[in-house]
Amino acid sequence: MCPSHHYLPTYINASYFTLFTFSRTRAGSNDDLIETSRTYPFCTCILLFFFFFPFRLFFLNSFWRFFVFPFLMITNRLT
């Protein structure tokens, strides 16, 4: 059994919460929704790819630490 199936839904739920909560409710203008619609497909493609094609756990651990979480933090500060 590959243990990556246990951790991946947690990361996907956390990233959806990050995208839809912080980028939508920071200000009350329509620009936040426009920026969310720009970054949403790219994040969804990455997350769905690693959900349906799980690799080894050490690769996933380094991937989430060094790419996905910094990417989400940077996009949250830009929007």
Determine the average pLDDT of the residues in 18-36.
52
Spell out the alpha helix ranges (H) of the chain: 4-17, 23-25, 31-52, 57-63, 69-78
* SS3 label, residue 62: helix
The pLDDT of residue 71: 73
Vertex 57: Cα angle to 54 and 59 (nearest 5) = 85
What predicted TM-score, i.e. pTM, was given to this entire model? 0.20
CA atoms within 13 A on the CB side of 23: 24
pLDDT digits (tens, 9 = 90+) for 2-17: 554 555 555 555 555 5
* More confident: 78 or 24: 78
The structural domains of the chain, with segments of one domain joined by +, span 4-78
Alpha-carbon torsion (7, 9, 18, 34), positive or negative: positive
